[in-house]
Amino acid sequence: MKTRDAAHFAFDALRGYRTRTLLMLLAMSIGVASVLVLTSLGEAARRFVTEEFASLGTNLVIVLPGKSETSGGGSPNLLGGTTRDLTLNDALAVSRSALINHMAPLIIGSAPVSVKNLQRDVMVVGSTSSLLDVRQWQLGKGQFLPKTDIDRASFVAVLGGTLKQELFGAQNALGEWVRIGDRRFRVVGIMSAQGRSFDIDVENVAFVPVATAQMLFNTQSLFRILLSTRSRESIPHAIEFVKRTLRERHQGEEDVTIITQDAVLATFDKILKALTLTVAGIAAISLAVAGILIMNVMLVAVSQRTTEIGLLKALGAPRRQIILLIMAEATLLSSMGAGLGLLMGQLGSSVIGYFYPALPLGAPWWAFVAAIGVALGTGLLFSLLPARRAAQLDPVQALARR
Amino acid sequence: MISPRHSGLRQNDEAEETLFFVSADFFIRQKNMIRLTDIQRDFQVGDQQVHALRNINLQVSAGEYISIMGPSGSGKSTLLNMIGLLDQPTAGHYQLDGQDVTTLSDKQQAHTRREKIGFVFQFFHLVPRLTAAQNIALPLVLAGMNEKERNKKVAQALTQMDIADRAEHRPDQLSGGQRQRVAIARATVIGPAVLLADEPTGNLDSASGIEVVKILEQLNTNGLTLLVVTHDEALGKRAKRRIHMIDGAIERDTLQRAGAP
């Protein structure tokens, strides 16, 4: 029997039992489509997070007090290392390198911010004018923090968009006074609405000069030092320099943790990839279920078409040919299902993409390969049993039935 | 008469049949078309052994017209299926066209069945989703014949059966007689040596029945060996050689001089 004829015969058989074929196609295509949509969602989440991290600022190095590696189950203090605070002088010292472009110290606290009788408890961030460069945020109106000496406390504030809206409404806020804690600040700038970032909700924050924040929260220690290096390649050298400088300043003890954006990114990347794979695995189960459905339906098809198979035997089809015919039918069914699933998957992705344009949707290449592979594989695998059953039919009994 | 006078039979047939065969060689080669020796077929039904065929010895020459009659359960269909290689004997030997076919593999048996044997069933067994032409083409498709050659043969068969205008109709659009003619066309399109018909008129009204029988007889006249299993006395009596079966054994094997009842 020629391949073309076999395919034609199988196709005719599929066309002959329309409802069954359509239902099978539906099951198979939903399986394939769900694999594609779910993996593309997972991938989108991964890319989204990765891009968010990229927006943290390029070549970012974060210095935090305390050595996280030594904290075996508790505070590092218990293990003998005294944690020294990071101070403004530390920050100034580490910024004195040609490798480092910008340095922004960070103090974060919470304080009530009020205008007349309106009051909100918000995050207050103490930093310098460089913060804008390090984090690559956008300023909406006015100016950011003044470019003065780092240890000079001036009572000016920059407000996040939402905070400004809540305190001033549509009125002009520039040049007005706000009360933060027990001091009065003049508003010099408003952050633009797009200025969102991962760890800080820029919309809902008030920025003040770092020295002012030290007074406000009565502390000398910095929450973080943010550094941006001149280039990506200089990150390792910059880290080396920061470690050495701080070790010298901290009596030879290395008591800071340095995080690079890359490390954070890599971790998130790993987590999200695992997530995508998990989701894809779950979707693959639905494909396998579709495969089992195919087996069921082919079994029913075989018993439905007992006489036909008996007839084929009487007309001189050997067992192998009958196995091939049934498998051809299943393969045709699953490949059509896979094709339909691809279409449905693309459609689903574009529908999601329409409602959530921010998500960079698109299934990875391996999802396509896996979906189609599993579809065809299960189709073939699960048609083996029905095909063998058909081949072993006793033609005499098969033809004795009406 | 348990053992038929084969020598006499053959001589008789030779006299008639040489008229239809062009070459004597061809006839001699096909002389002993079917030879069953001590064929036995047992079924296991529950814990009971059923002897569907007991000790069958039968020789059929090429071009014979034989009816097999007997009550239900007498084993006549089993015998036909055995001859058609759809069933395997429990014991005994079966030679078809000079070749021992009992020892062939599944593939070889299928091949032999395809090339040498045609089946006509009571319930036609046409594939419902295929047109008449497609049904007739089925054995050719299975044999791997290319489409052009196939179409030619199918067209020939359709014309021969006088159903050319029904080529594109599906079985449910055909009358019983037309369906059986499609089935006969399918059984003979590949040019088999033996045609096995199991109650070919059992599902037809008498007019279409006669029509179908006449087609079968015409094919026989053209040299096809024809074996018909039937309940119908009138149909059975049309055959020159009549085999009567009871309880899985050949009870009578008679030869009539005149073909017509």
* Residues 74-93 (B) with a CB less than 8 A from some CB of A: 78, 81, 84, 86-87
**Tokens found for residue B41:** 């077929």
Question: Looking at CA atoms only, how far is residue B28 from chain A in angstroms?
Answer: 26
> How far is it, in rounded angstroms, from Cα B58 to Cα B79?
10
Average pLDDT taken over every residue of chain B: 84
Each residue's pLDDT tens digit, A336-382: 888 999 899 888 888 888 888 777 777 778 778 888 888 888 888 88
pLDDT digits (tens, 9 = 90+) for B102-113: 888 888 999 999
Residue with tokens 């956008």: A138
Which tokens hold the place of A358? 């921010």
Q: Are B105 and B161 in contact (CB under 8 A)?
A: no
Predicted local distance difference test score (pLDDT) of residue B260:
47
Chain B nearest C-alpha distance from A402 (Å) = 6
- The answer to whether residue A81 scores a pLDDT higher than 80 is no
Parallel/antiparallel/unpaired status of strands B48-61 and A256-260: unpaired
Asked whether the predicted pLDDT for residue B127 surpasses 80, the reply is: yes
Residues recorded for chain A: 402
Kindly list the residues from chain B whose CB atom is less than 8 angstroms away from the CB atom of residue A396: 78, 81, 86-87
Q: Give pLDDT, residue A66.
A: 80
The helix/strand count (H/E) of chain A reads as 12, 10
Average pLDDT, stretch A65-72?
Answer: 60
Instruction: Please report the pLDDT score of residue B17 as a whole number.
Output: 44
**What is the reported pLDDT for B44?**
85
ipTM: 0.80
Taking 60 as the threshold, does the pLDDT of residue B245 lie above it?
Answer: yes
If one compares A306 and A82, the residue with the highest pLDDT of the two is A306
pLDDT for B170: 92
Task: Give the pLDDT mean for A107-125.
Answer: 91
Indicate whether A306 pLDDT > 60.
yes
Give the 3-state secondary structure percentages of chain A, helix then strand then coil, rounded to 5.
Answer: 55, 15, 25
Residue A224's closest CA among A99, A57, A81?
A: A57
- CB-facing half-sphere around the CA of A239: CA atoms within 13 A: 17
Q: Left (φ > 0), alpha (ψ -120 to 50) or beta: where does B161 sit?
A: alpha
Contacts with A317 from chain B: Cβ below 8 Å: 110, 114, 142
Q: What is the per-residue pLDDT for B225?
A: 93
The verdict on A13 touching B (C-beta cutoff 8 Å) is yes
The whole-number pLDDT of residue B226 equals 94
Query: Strand A224-229 vs strand A100-115: parallel, antiparallel, or unpaired?
Result: antiparallel
Determine which of B138, B140, B150 to mutate to test the interface with A (most A C-beta atoms within 10 Å).
B138
Closest CA to B218 of B25, B32, B22, B65: B65
Q: What number of residues does chain B have?
A: 261
Q: Report the chain A residue with the minimal C-alpha distance to residue B114.
A: A316
Mutate to test the interface with B, among A311, A322, A388 (most CBs of B within 10 A): A311
Q: How far apart are the CA of B118 and the nearest CA of chain A, in angstroms? A: 7
B141–A contact, CB cutoff 8 A: yes
Which of A315, A321, A322, A399 is the best mutation test for B, with the most CBs of B within 10 A?
A: A315
For strand B241-246 and strand B249-255, is the pairing parallel, antiparallel, or unpaired? antiparallel
Lowest model confidence (mean pLDDT) among A11-15, A222-226, B137-141: A11-15
Contact of A221 with A87, CB cutoff 8 Å: yes
**B46 at the A interface (CB within 8 A)?**
no
DSSP assignment letter at B231: S
Q: Tell me the pLDDT tens digit for each residue of B189-219.
A: 998 999 999 999 988 998 999 999 999 999 9
| Chain centre distance of CA A300 | 44
Q: Which two tokens stand for residue B12?
A: 């008789």
Q: Retrieve residue B251's tokens.
A: 């009870």
Q: How confident is the model at residue B118 (pLDDT cuts 50, 70, 90)?
A: very high
Indicate if the pLDDT at residue A173 is higher than 60: yes
Strand-pair partners of A62: A226, A259
- What is the DSSP pairing of strand A60-65 with strand A100-115? unpaired
| CA dihedral angle for residue A185, residue A187, residue A193, residue A197, rounded to 10 degrees | -40
Q: Using one digit for the tens of pLDDT, what is the confidence trace for A42-63?
A: 888 888 877 776 666 567 888 8
Taking every pair of Cα atoms in chain A, the longest distance, rounded to a whole number of angstroms, is 103
Residue with tokens 């009870």: B251
Q: In the prediction, which pLDDT does A54 show?
A: 67
Round to whole Å and give the CA distance between B100 and B90.
15
> Rounded to whole angstroms, how far apart are CA atoms B226 and B235?
13
What are the φ/ψ torsions at residue B126 (nearest 5 degrees)? -85, 150
**Nearest-angstrom CA–CA distance, A368 and A35:** 9
Q: What residues of chain B lie within 8 A of the CB of A20, using their CB?
A: none
> What pLDDT was estimated at residue A56?
60
- Map tokens 């989108």 to a residue: A44
* Tokens at A208, concatenated: 């003040």
pLDDT on residue A45: 81
Sign of the four-CA dihedral B167, B171, B175, B176:
positive
Cα–Cα distance measured from residue B92 to residue B39, given in angstroms and rounded to the nearest whole number: 4
Inter-axis angle of helices A306-314 and B106-116, to 10 degrees?
A: 80
Task: State residue A82's pLDDT score.
Answer: 52
For chain A, give the mean pLDDT: 83
Q: How far is CA B120 from CA A245, A289, A297, B45, B197, in A?
A: 100, 42, 30, 27, 4
For chain B, the straight-line distance linking the first and the last C-alpha, in angstroms and rounded, comes to 20
Distances (CA, A) of A341 to A18, A44, A168, A283: 18, 19, 53, 12
End-to-end CA distance of chain A: 27
Q: Please enumerate in sequence order all residues whose Cβ is within 8 A of that of A232, keeping only pairs 6 or more positions apart, or say none.
A: A58, A59
pLDDT for B25:
45
Residue B241: phi and psi, rounded to 5, are: -115, 130
Q: How far apart are CA B197 and CA B211, in angstroms?
A: 15
Structure confidence at residue A158 (pLDDT): 93
Answer whether B183's CB lies under 8 Å from B121's CB: yes
**CB-count exposure of residue A161 (10 Å: 0-12, 13-18, 19+):** buried
CA A35 vs. chain centroid, Å, equals: 17
pLDDT digits (tens, 9 = 90+) for B59-92: 999 889 999 999 988 888 899 999 999 888 999 9
**B220 near B63, Cβ under 8 Å?**
yes
Q: Closest by alpha carbon to A378, among A344, A322, A337?
A: A337
